[in-house]
């Protein structure tokens, strides 16, 4: 009887442990889904979280200049193009405004001198309402500015080609222009710097073919050279 009771007790413990792990997994999965819905759907969770954790182990540097954004930023070899070792690239493929909000704490803790933000396109491509994108973006700016001592540079959203994924969203460039106008006004009101990339990349309401790759969203080498040219004076500004 003693062994039977022990086995029953062990079974209860194992069942409770399994239930607890399943519950934790559900909570984590739910948080990930609401924070990074398109990342979850595209099975990119491990990559996304690994890159985020990778950033968190880097040493803090209060003299650093952070470029923060999605794959457009991740693919921007800005440190090499500008020959400036102060620059830290914190772009993550697939990121969006809610994602940046959820990973901004370690960036703030490092107390960087400057942060250049580029974010929002993935939100629009996944049909997040543009006013929701704007609210998230404003919260990102406020959070960075309240951290103290960091200059915030809001880089306008880039136009995209009306091909590929965007072909099913004919309003996408209209939404980009809307957000850019709002962000420019917000920057002026809150003493942040607005970097108008859009004006130099656009052609007839879309992106200049010279600057976009085959998917219509990402940039060519010429596009990144132009981007580097536009931000260089701001990076070097004392």
Residue 85: give the domain boundaries. Answer: 61-236
Total tally of structural domains belonging to the chain: 1
Burial class (CB in 10 A: 0-12, 13-18, 19+), 161: buried
**Residue 123 falls inside a structural domain:** yes
* pLDDT at residue number 34: 44
Closest to 107 in 3D by CA, of 134, 119, 89: 89
The pLDDT, as a whole number, for residue 61 is 63
What is the pLDDT at residue 51?
A: 57
Is there a domain that residue 97 lies in? yes
User: 21 lies in a domain?
Assistant: no
pTM: 0.77
Q: What CATH number corresponds to the domain at position 106?
A: 3.40.50.1110
Which pLDDT belongs to residue 149?
86
Q: Is-contact 117 155, C-beta < 8 A?
A: yes
For residue 203, being part of any structural domain is answered with: yes
Residue 84 lies inside a defined structural domain of this protein: yes
Cβ neighbours for 173, distance < 8 A, ≥ 6 positions apart = 159, 160, 162, 166, 205, 206
Q: Residue 71: in which H helix or E strand, if any?
A: helix 71-74
pLDDT for the residue 25: 38
Could you tell me the two tokens for 60? Answer: 């803090």
Q: What is the pLDDT of residue 72?
A: 96
Assess if residue 4 is contained within a domain. no
Does a structural domain hold residue 172?
yes
Look at residue 18 in the predicted model and tell me its pLDDT. Answer: 42
Extract the tokens encoding 174: 């209209």
DSSP letter string, 147-208:
TSS-EEEEEPPPP--SSGGGGG-TTHHHHHHHHHHHHHHHHHHTT-EEE--HHHHEETTEE-
The terminus-to-terminus CA distance of the chain in angstroms comes to: 80
From first to last of the 238 residues of the chain, give the pLDDT tens digit.
455 555 454 455 544 444 444 343 333 444 444 444 444 444 455 555 555 554 555 556 668 999 999 999 999 999 999 999 999 999 999 899 999 998 898 888 888 999 999 999 999 999 999 999 999 999 999 999 998 789 999 999 999 997 766 677 789 999 999 999 999 999 999 999 999 999 999 999 899 999 988 777 899 999 999 999 999 999 999 8
């Amino acid at each position: 009887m003693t062994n039977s009771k022990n086995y029953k007790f062990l079974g209860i413990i194992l069942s409770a442990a399994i239930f607890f792990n399943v519950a934790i997994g559900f909570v984590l999965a739910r948080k990930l889904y609401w924070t990074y819905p398109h990342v979850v759907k595209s099975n990119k969770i491990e990559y996304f979280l690994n890159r985020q954790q990778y950033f968190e182990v880097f040493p803090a540097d209060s003299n650093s200049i952070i470029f923060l954004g999605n794959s457009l930023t991740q693919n921007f070899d800005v440190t090499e193009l500008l020959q400036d070792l102060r620059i830290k690239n914190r772009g993550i493929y697939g990121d969006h405004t809610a994602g940046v909000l959820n990973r901004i704490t370690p960036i703030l803790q490092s107390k960087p001198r400057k942060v250049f933000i580029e974010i929002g396109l993935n939100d629009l491509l996944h049909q997040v309402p543009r006013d929701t994108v704007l609210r998230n973006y404003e919260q990102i700016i406020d959070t960075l500015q309240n951290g103290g001592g960091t200059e915030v540079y809001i880089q306008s959203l880039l136009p995209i080609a009306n091909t590929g994924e965007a072909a099913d969203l004919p309003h996408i460039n209209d939404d980009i222009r809307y957000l850019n106008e709002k962000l420019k006004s917000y920057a002026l009101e809150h003493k942040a710097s607005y970097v108008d990339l859009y004006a130099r990349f656009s052609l007839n309401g879309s992106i200049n073919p010279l600057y976009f790759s085959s998917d219509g969203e990402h940039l060519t080498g010429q596009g990144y050279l132009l981007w580097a040219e536009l931000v260089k004076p701001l990076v070097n500004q004392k």
